[in-house]
Structures are given as structure tokens and as C-alpha cells.
Amino acid sequence: MELRSRVPGGPIERKWDTHRFEMKLVNPANKRKHTVIVVGSGLAGGAAAASMSELGYQVKCFCFQDSPRRAHSIAAQGGINAAKNYRNDGDSIYRLFYDTVKGGDFRSREANVYRLAQISVEIIDQCVAQGVPFAREYGGLLANRSFGGAQVSRTFYARGQTGQQLLLGCYQALEKEVARGGVTMFPRTEMLDLIVIEGRARGIVARDLVTGRVSTHLADAVVLGTGGYGNVFYLSTNAKGSNATAIWRAHKRGAAFANPCYTQIHPTCIPVSGEYQSKLTLMSESLRNDGRVWVPLRGGDRRPPGEVPEAERDYYLERRYPSFGNLVPRDVASRAAKSVCDEGRGVGPGGLGVYLDFADAIRRVGAGTIRERYGNLFEMYQRITDENPYEVPMRIFPAVHYTMGGLWVDYNLMSTIPGLHVIGEANFSDHGANRLGASALMQGLADGYFIVPSTISDYLASAHPTPVDPSHPECRRVEAEVAERTRRLLAIRGKRTVDSFHRELGSIMWDKCGMARNAAGLNEALRRIPELREEFWRNLNVPGSDAELNQALEKAGRVADFLELGELICRDALHREESCGGHFREEYQTEDGEARRDDARFGYVAAWEYTGDLAAPRLGKEPLEFEYVHLAQRSYK
């Protein structure tokens, strides 16, 4: 397997422009002769499908939800970064680039990140033009707020529903193209495999979730924008349907999987309340603009928060990180919360929580202003916990939120399978070992609106794909494999439900490969996951048939893939004998408990190749070079 990053030469500021000029074009009359499949309709997939259709390509877009508007991008709350420097506070493309490389703990590809920062500026313009109602100042100019890991205010937002508004803008552009005939939409249709012919991605096999019909869809190129795999942990802030099946199937067809162990544990989520818990709810990081994080100074202090005097509170983020305070990056904030809870100072049931307190902010700017900034988040918190955050501090705890790892892609966002492009959270590209807040929306839209529409033209113009017929033996073979897998899931007729397996996998992953990892725990996980997988295929109970809407069957297929991916995540975490970003190995920390990287041994992207044996994936390495941002121990002190 060859990992050629295809990063263009020249100074970093010029790379993308140079590349855009050097890439081949498809002439307008020929574009309509090409079909491109886009799987996923979130910010990345939806934007790519709409933009490629505008260019003239025939696009087939697939989503498992009943409408493309329901993709999980919709749930992003806080905002989207852009290096506009509208605040005149010293922001620039270079600073956004620098913050993102540093925030990612020096495990991302510099050229990709620089391009992301460049494009960030155009994204805001594009979204405003579509009618996205970003927050504005009284004078009519766009407003900004601050997010973690940055000392400038560069985050654009629409109340606490920024993802929703960006996705609706994107969805509306997509529906416009559906009406025009450029995009054919396949809702409630799930990709179950990838078709690779003569070494190139040429289509997918998908199941109509209503009728159960499995069919082959062919194209000249395939784009996956299917999101992350946080649900491997069962409890996460992801939507219930979010899954890894598309990228995992592509991995098993030859696409390398990069840095699977880089998972983001978000510091501000509502704590777990019971066994029945089906998902976790994020409270936007933007709350850390005004909320102060604290726990009682003494362990075992069970007084209600209002009765703990100032002097007996530990505002531990402000204490440990005076220059960034409550706005340290997510990985740092999560680990700090874990360590105060480990010391027995956590609050709420089980001691797994810390306070996020708005009392000072309400005194400073008034409850009305706080309501204006975060009203919908406060309401959501109250609905879930039955506590009023205007009166008592929120209780928060870290939860799995985002996966920085994903399919390996080159500078063109193409995977190791020619013709298979991967965008948004599904790829590994821009966030290194930790993603900064408000950067996921930026990356999804950069990939979808601006990058992949350009690079796909270059691919099509260079590859000259020849027509393939659905009767091609490879299509028949993959379709038969998909049908066989479904048949097997239904034929087990065992005793345990899909959810019971999923919960068990999730608890192994969270305990052994969560906020802190060590070799002993990872080795134990690597023993237990294959055992659980073996039991899954022996003792699973999926009721019903494959010729109907069967939600248990859908879940079973996804959990089967999580049971394989989970093992790869642990394997990657075990091999990476350093701590960086979201990957914290207890054996590798500084004296004051910060992550200790090992650039000499691990300054690379780990790209795993499927060999046919889940226990023995082959490791490929893409070395990372830092020409512009000086490699340094991250400090937010």
C-alpha cells in the first residue's frame, strides 16, 4: 500500500492555488456524462452533492434517514470558525492554521490545515448568500464568539443551532438541485458495500430500508461523507443512527483507515442518569465563554453548590491554565474533569460530574443576555435534568463526541482506493489528534463545497473511467456477499438483542480505550472484543425478515461492523506509545499530568490496511513534517 499524500510543492500559502491551476478540468459539455455517487447528506455530503450537481455532474446521493435534512450535522450547536478577522483582534488565515495544527497536537498534515483555514473565509460568505441567519450585531454586521483553543473571537453562530442552520442551507441547495434534475436522492437507503472494479471505486451496494431491496448503483467516482464512528462507544453525543458501516466496508475493500484511536471526548455533556440511557447530550462548548467550571476543594463535599463558599471551590481550569482558563481545548478540559473526579471531588450521582456555573456571568451581563446567548441550551438542559441552570450550576461530564480518525485521504481527499473520495468527519485529514471547537462544520463544508468538487474533476479527467455494466461479475459478487451477510444475521435466532451487544462493546471501549488508556487495559479489550464478536455471531436475536422495514436488522449490521472497528481502535491505541490530543496513554505523561508526545517515534499518520485477518492489520506510516508550525509541547498555561 502506497501512502502518497500528493501535497503540492511551493510555499504553503500558494499550494492550493497552484494545485487548482494544475488540476485537470472536465469541460462543461462532458460533465453531464459523468455520474458521481455521494453517500451521506450532512454538511460534507450534502454540500458536495449540491456543488457537483451545480457544476453539471449527475449526482446520486444516499442517506439512511428519511430526509437529507436529518443528517447529524444538524445537531452541531456552537458555531463555525473562519479567519475573517472581523473583530480586528489579530486573527488571520495563518493564525487559524497555527491554532488548528497546535490544537491537533501536531498530528495533522500542515498543507491540508492551511487550505482549510484559507477556505474558511469563503464558507461564511457562501452560507450568508444562501440565507443562513447567522447572529448579527445591532449595526447589522456578523457577530462572533470565542471557542476553545483560540485567543481570538472567530466563531460565527446562529444561536445554539449553528449546525442546523448550516445544514438547512446546504439541504436547500441540495433540494434545488433535486428539483432541477442534477441530483437523484435516495433517502432511507443504506450503503452496505463498495464496488471496486479494476482497482477503482465504481459504485455501491445499498439496501432500501423500507422494502429491504438490495441493489447496485454504479458511477464514475464515489464520495463518502458518512460521518464519524463515535457510536462504537454506544453512549456518545452522536445520533442513534450514526454508524461506521460505509467507511468500514470501504476499509475492507482496500481503503486504509488512519488514526482510528483519535477520538474526542467532549468535556461539556450532560452526565449519564441511568442504565437505560440511550445517548448523551452535548452542552455546547460556547457555554465555556461565560460558564466557570469548578468542583469543591475537598473530596466528598456533598453540600448543594450554592452552600459551598467561594473559598472552598476549585476553579481548576482557571487555576491550572491561567491564560486559556475555561477555554482550554477539549482534550485538556476533559482530562482535567476526569482527574478531579478520580480524586473524589466529582459532583452529582456517582461523583461523575463537575459544575459549569453561570452565576458570575448572570451577575455581570444579566439573565436576559445569557438567555439570548444560550437560551435553547439552557432549556434543553432543564428538560433533560429537571434542574434550572439559571439558578443552580449545570452538572457536566465528558462524553464521546467526535472521531478525528477516519479513512486515510491524500491532499485531493482521495482514499487509497482510486476514485473513492472521503470527506468530513469520515476522513482523518485536518484535526490531527484533537479537534478544536467549531472546526467540524468548517471542515465538512470546506471539503464539500470547495475541495472535492475541484479534485473530483481532476480525477475524472485523468482516470477516464469507462462504462461498467451492472451485470459485471464483481457487482454480482458483492451483491451476493451483502445478501449472505443479511441472511446470516437473521438466521442466528439466538438469545441476545443487538443493543445488549452494543452496550457491552461500548462499556469495554469506554473503560479501556476512553479518556485514559494503558497497555494492560488495551490488551484486555483486544481479548474481550473478539470474544464478544464471536458470541454476537452465535447468539444474536434479530426478529423479522429482510424484506421489510426492520430496524433491528439495520442496527445489527452496524453493530457487527463496530465489533470489528473497535478492535482496530484498540490496536491503534496500543501501538501508539505516546500521548497526544484525544489519545492519552497513562504511561506517557509529564510530571504534572499533561500529554507527552514522542515525535521521534510517532510523528506519523498510522494508516491501517485490512489484510483479511482482523487480528493482523498491516500498518502503513505517512511521516508528518512540520515546516511552518514549530513542533513544541502544547501549553495552555
Partner 1 sequence: MNLTLHVWRQAGPDAPGRMVRYEAADISPDMSFLEMLDVVNERLMQTGDSPIAFDHDCREGICGSCSLMINGVAHGPNPGTATCQLHMRSFADGDEIHIEPWRARAFPVVRDLVVDRAALDRIIAAGGFVSAATGSAPDGNATLIPKDTVDTAMDAAQCIGCGACVAACPNGSASLFTAAKITHLGLLPQGQPERLQRARRMVERMDIEGFGGCTLYGECQEACPKMISIDTITRMNRDFLRASMTPVRAAVAESD
Using CB under 8 A as the binding rule, the residues of this chain from 248 to 287 that contact partner 1 are 273-274, 276-279, 281-282
* Candidate segments 47-55, 428-436, 506-514, 601-609, binder of partner 1 by CB under 8 A: 47-55
Please report how close the Cβ of residue 571 comes to partner 1 at its closest, in angstroms: 30
Residue number with CB closer to partner 1 (151 or 500): 500
For cell 486504509, what's the residue? 256
Please report how close the Cβ of residue 70 comes to partner 1 at its closest, in angstroms: 4
Query: Shortest CA distance to 196 belongs to which of 465, 557, 563?
Result: 465
Residue number with CB closer to partner 1 (69 or 335): 69
Return phi, psi of residue 606, to 5°.
-90, 115
Please report how close the Cβ of residue 139 comes to partner 1 at its closest, in angstroms: 7
How far is Cα 383 from Cα 374, in angstroms, rounded to an integer? 14
How far is Cα 382 from Cα 536, in angstroms, rounded to an integer? 38
Please report how close the Cβ of residue 200 comes to partner 1 at its closest, in angstroms: 26
406 binds partner 1 (CB under 8 A): no
173 binds partner 1 (CB under 8 A): yes
How far is Cα 201 from Cα 4, in angstroms, rounded to an integer? 18
Residue number with CB closer to partner 1 (282 or 409): 282
Residue number with CB closer to partner 1 (161 or 429): 161
Please report how close the Cβ of residue 51 comes to partner 1 at its closest, in angstroms: 4
Residue number with CB closer to partner 1 (50 or 150): 50
Which residues are CB-contacts of 27 (< 8 A; sequence separation ≥ 6)?
Answer: none
* Candidate segments 260-268, 449-457, 524-532, 604-612, binder of partner 1 by CB under 8 A: 449-457
* Candidate segments 21-29, 60-68, 426-434, 571-579, binder of partner 1 by CB under 8 A: 60-68
Work out the number of other CB atoms within 10 angstroms of the CB of residue 441. Answer: 28
| Inter-residue contact 162 to 79 (CB < 8 Å) | yes
For residue 132, the number of C-alpha atoms closer than 13 Å in the C-beta half-sphere is 28
* Candidate segments 147-155, 168-176, 247-255, 618-626, binder of partner 1 by CB under 8 A: 168-176
Show contacts with partner 1 in window 203-232 (CB under 8 A). 210
Residue number with CB closer to partner 1 (403 or 434): 403
Residue number with CB closer to partner 1 (3 or 142): 142
Please report how close the Cβ of residue 263 comes to partner 1 at its closest, in angstroms: 19
Please report how close the Cβ of residue 633 comes to partner 1 at its closest, in angstroms: 36
240-279: burial string, b at 16+ Cβ within 10 Å, e else: ebbbbbbbbbbbbbbbbbbbbbbbbbbbbbbbbeeeeeee
Show contacts with partner 1 in window 102-121 (CB under 8 A). none
Show contacts with partner 1 in window 530-589 (CB under 8 A). 541, 543-544, 548-549, 551-552
Work out the number of other CB atoms within 10 angstroms of the CB of residue 470. Answer: 13
28 binds partner 1 (CB under 8 A): no
Residue number with CB closer to partner 1 (141 or 615): 141
Count, residues near partner 1 per rule CB under 8 A: 82
For residue 353, the number of C-alpha atoms closer than 13 Å in the C-beta half-sphere is 19
Task: Find the binder of partner 1 among 215, 339, 497, 507 (CB under 8 A).
Answer: 497
Angle of CA points 482, 69, 251, to nearest 5°? 35
How far is Cα 98 from Cα 628, in angstroms, rounded to an integer? 9
Strand order in the sheet with 200-208: 189-197, 200-208, 214-218
499 binds partner 1 (CB under 8 A): yes
Show contacts with partner 1 in window 311-350 (CB under 8 A). none
**Percent helix, strand and coil across the chain, each rounded to 5?**
40, 15, 40
130 binds partner 1 (CB under 8 A): yes
Residue number with CB closer to partner 1 (163 or 514): 163
Please report how close the Cβ of residue 105 comes to partner 1 at its closest, in angstroms: 29
Q: Which three cell numbers stand for residue 301?
A: 463535599
151 binds partner 1 (CB under 8 A): no
Show contacts with partner 1 in window 357-396 (CB under 8 A). 379-380, 383-384, 386
> How is residue 47 annotated by DSSP?
H
Residue number with CB closer to partner 1 (395 or 512): 395
346 to each of 219, 236, 359, 522, 577, how far by Cα in Å?
Answer: 53, 20, 19, 26, 29
Residue number with CB closer to partner 1 (476 or 538): 538
88 binds partner 1 (CB under 8 A): no
Residue number with CB closer to partner 1 (203 or 389): 389
Bridge partners for 400 per DSSP: 265
240 binds partner 1 (CB under 8 A): yes
473 to each of 190, 255, 479, 525, how far by Cα in Å?
Answer: 22, 21, 10, 39
Task: Find the binder of partner 1 among 176, 313, 371, 485 (CB under 8 A).
Answer: 176
For cell 449472505, what's the residue? 484
Q: Which three cell numbers stand for residue 413?
A: 481527499
